[in-house]
Chains A and B, each alone.
Chain A
Amino acid sequence: MSAATTTTSARPRHLLDFTEWSPERLNAILDNADTMLQVLDRPVKKVPALQGMTVCTAFFESSTRTRTSFELAARRMSADVMTFAAGASSASKGESLRDTVEVLTQYKVDAYIVRHHAAGAAHLVARYSGKPVINAGDGRRAHPTQALLDAYTIRQEFGSLEGKTVAILGDVRHSRVARSNAELLPKLGAKVVLCGPATLLPAELGTLPGVTLTSDPQAAVRGAHAVMALRLQQERMGGGFLGSLQEYADTYQVNEGLMQEAESGAIVLHPGPMNRDVEISHEAADGPRSRILKQVENGQAIRMSVLYHLLVGRE
């Protein structure tokens, strides 16, 4: 596929994951997000950068928040937005992903934002569409704009990611957010500690550069500059991954007590939506360390920056 043959120095055509993205390119996206935040502070929150272009949000799995964030980002850059919400319907009708994408290409779309329940689906859309694709979450594989907005939020706080430690707690196994952060943050100079019950913590992730694993939450959070709680999906209980929600919350919940172990200025992050008092306590979610609402605001700026980078700022 085209993605695999691009060299790291070239400007990547898609944002599927971070495999082909150099730290310089990634920092350029973060730098540009500063400008986008300024746009969002103006009375007229719109720039003409993508005028005349059409961006398609192809959501094969529903996610109102992520879609809204992307669509607003595109509109603030003056792009037309086309919404394609397939759910699982076209697959159940027997239509292949390729067929769906080939139909969409007839609408002369300039870029695709793809959310899908299967890992790798965004790669397939990139292969079949021939246009830039932004992965808005594919199965457990990747959610790169979420990781970028996390990185941006941490950088906003500390000026840089160099030498920082980020602890990520929860259902790491099923989390695309954890995987994308584990890929991105070390590229930007940070260390990542993944923490959760052994059943939700695949040993192989510990082989990634700059990533360590532990099932001890105190050890994970010790010395951390940012602590991220992952959404615990209730349905995991049926899979036998956990004894009980209560047991999980007692052990792995991000709360004031656990945050005592972190660096004094440490911040709390959560990709949302939250199960309050399960993976995160009310106090931690709403307290002075929390940057959870800031993440939402930054998310829009990051998505504007990514769209600009892929669609306009090409050499």
Chain B
Amino acid sequence: MTIDSARGAPSPGAADDPSGLAEASPELIQLLTPEGVRVEHPDYPLDLTPEEVRGLYRDLVMVRRIDMEAVALTRQGELGLWASLLGQEAAQVGSGRALAERDMVFPTYREHGVAWTRGLDPLKVLAMFRGLSNCGWDPAEHNFHLYTVVIGSQTLHATGYAMGIQRDGVLGTENAAATIAYFGDGATSQGDVNESFVFASVFNAPIVFFCQNNQWAISEPLEKQSRIPLYRRAQGFGFPGLRVDGNDVFACLAVTRKALEAARSGQGPTLIEAFTYRMGAHTTTDDPTRYRLEAELEAWKLKDPIERVKAYLVRGDLADPAFFDEVDAEAKQYAADLRRRCLALPDPQPMEIFRNVYAEPHALISEEQEQFAAYLESFETEGSGS
């Protein structure tokens, strides 16, 4: 330990360079190379049937196609905003497919891929971004909590929920569950995320912190958030931190699965840093050409999460061209249906404003609701009199 390294000064080497492109290294857990070659990792054995791999491939393609459709709908003015997950499909599908039904997910606003793996109808996500509600699904239906727009807030909710699981006395039993909290590289600078690390550690809560480090917090690169690789933050809080190739769906699946099992068996939290890249804009209102280089994007294109699974399937003769055509056709059809369903969504009625603010009767809400209803009715009365 030198003075420099103790101070966390960046030193040469991929592992110490938070902004550098990750190469396969002892720090980076990878089970499938960008070329589609399967590699083994002693700590993360993964035995998938060809059918399971094809299933993951289908997930990745569907999620990307849904995301593309949502971007198009936004460009056409049908959605107010969209946060694209382009490039992060493997991190989301891999971690999402690692979850047991009883586990509870706490997403940000970009986890459309995780939502897909939980069985949440993408229409519900589109409805939120279309402005029909501020979210609007029942978290209990798929154990998938509401999208959270304030950066990092949900990590504390996930930690508290995990403390609740502990108090239910189910850890280590067949009813054991864990929570998983998703957040980005920018969120690691938030107080709430650091406080959630403290609480999770002190209470040994059954939680997995899944950080999708997509290198950019809108226009700010990772070095504006950290001088060390993010997975190392965990050590200071007293629990394990790992860096996984976030574009490798196999590695994301295996590592998340193991971390969830550890949580459910009472071994406490894990931080997983999924090293990935946001191929698109932060949201549809953002212009990434103003702050990042085309060369960086090109380099990451070579690490595409879908192409490597396709290469693996082809190389192993695990899928024929007809399979890929079928998946593409299915995705195209699904997206077209989704678009139709989205455009058919009715606007909410004005009185919806007053609904569900409180669980129990509230005099002020009732009063304003009545006044507004009478006001609206006055137009109808005027109209009928003319």
Please determine whether chains A and B interact with each other in the same assembly.
Answer: no
Q: Residues of A with Cβ closer than 8 Å to B? A: none
Q: Residues of B with Cβ closer than 8 Å to A? A: none
